[in-house]
Amino acid sequence: MTDTPPEFLIACLCAAWCGTCRDYRAGFDALAARFPEARFLWLDVEDDAELLDDYEVETFPTLLIQRHETVLFFGTMLPHHDLLQRTLESFHAQTPDESRHYAHADSLRRSWQNERNLRRALAERSEPGAH
């Protein structure tokens, strides 16, 4: 058995007090079951503030989709699960090279590579001595 992390990381950045987030959660969890090869995370912007303070989440739900170290999407998505499903299917259909090209195709997506890399932030948080 290997400890290789899943290729895709899908994170929903929400808040417990947000009714839209609460309504969205069941469908998000159902999508996680449809994509078992991916890691789905539900992160509360208040409970996980130390991790997410720099992410500037203003509207819910905010989604982050990463393929290995490549951030493919960061932003608000309408709370329709079929929209997230189609987005994930589209990213799954790309080759890793196509994903890297997509992620660097404009200045906003290029900025996500350093500013929104959740895998890196999670790894830094779990390192010994990290706060």
More confident residue, 7 or 3: 7
More confident residue, 56 or 33: 33
pLDDT in tens, 12-55: 999 999 999 999 999 999 999 999 999 999 999 999 988 887 88
Question: Do the domain assignments include residue 37?
Answer: yes
Question: Do the domain assignments include residue 3?
Answer: no
- List all residues 6 or more positions away from 76 whose beta carbon is below 8 Å from its beta carbon: 59, 60, 61, 62, 63
Question: Do the domain assignments include residue 35?
Answer: yes
Question: Do the domain assignments include residue 2?
Answer: no
* pLDDT reading at 85 higher than 50: yes
Question: Do the domain assignments include residue 21?
Answer: yes
Please give the tally of structural domains in the chain.
1
- How many C-alpha atoms does 128 have within 13 Å on its Cβ side? 0
Question: Do the domain assignments include residue 128?
Answer: no
Question: Do the domain assignments include residue 54?
Answer: yes
* pLDDT reading at 86 higher than 90: yes
Instruction: Give the CATH number of the domain where residue 101 resides.
Output: 3.40.30.10
Q: Is 88 helix (H, G, I), strand (E, B) or coil?
A: helix
Q: Is 18 helix (H, G, I), strand (E, B) or coil?
A: coil
Q: Is 10 helix (H, G, I), strand (E, B) or coil?
A: strand
How far is it, in rounded angstroms, from Cα 4 to Cα 113?
21
Claim: this prediction has a pTM higher than 0.75: yes
> The tokens of 23 are what?
């309504």
What residue numbers bound the domain in which 58 lies?
8-122
Question: Do the domain assignments include residue 15?
Answer: yes
**So what's the pLDDT on residue 131?**
41
Please state, rounded to an integer, the average pLDDT across all residues of the chain: 92
How far is it, in rounded angstroms, from Cα 35 to Cα 12?
15
pLDDT band for position 1 (50/70/90)? very low
For the segment 55-75, the average pLDDT, to the nearest whole number, is 94
